[in-house]
Amino acid sequence: MSTLHALTTPTNNDSAHTLPTLRYKGGPLTHRPATIADLDQLSRLESECFPPEEAATRDQILYRIKTVPPELFITTWDNDKLVGFVNGTLTNSPDLTEESMSRHESKGSTVCIHSVSVAPDLRRQGIAYTMLLNYIIGIKNVHRMRPTYKRIVLLAHDNLIPLYTKAGFKVDGPSGVHHGPLPWIQCSMMLGDGGWAHDDE
Ligand SMILES: CC(C)(COP(=O)(O)OP(=O)(O)OC[C@H]1O[C@@H](n2cnc3c(N)ncnc32)[C@H](O)[C@@H]1OP(=O)(O)O)[C@@H](O)C(=O)NCCC(=O)NCCS
Give the residue extent of every domain in the chain.
Answer: 27-198
**Predicted pLDDT of residue 197:** 44
Which of these CATH numbers, 3.40.640.10, 3.40.630.30, 3.30.1490.190, 3.30.450.40, describes 27-198? 3.40.630.30
Query: Can you tell me which atom of ligand 1 is nearest the CA of 118?
Result: 39
**Predicted pLDDT of residue 16:** 43
94 has pLDDT over 60 = yes
- Strands 81-91, 73-78: pairing is antiparallel
pLDDT grade for 7, boundaries at 50, 70 and 90: very low
For residues 148-154, average pLDDT: 95
CA–chain centroid gap for 198, Å, is 16
**Predicted pLDDT of residue 146:** 84
Distance CA 144, CA 199 (A): 14
**Predicted pLDDT of residue 194:** 46
Q: pTM to 2 decimals?
A: 0.89
From 118, 161, 166, 177, give the residue whose CB has the most ligand 1 atoms within 8 Å, as the site to mutate: 118
Query: Can you tell me which atom of ligand 1 is nearest the CA of 113?
Result: 48
From 123, 152, 166, 187, give the residue whose CB has the most ligand 1 atoms within 8 Å, as the site to mutate: 123
Distances (CA, A) of 182 to 66, 113, 123, 162: 30, 18, 21, 17
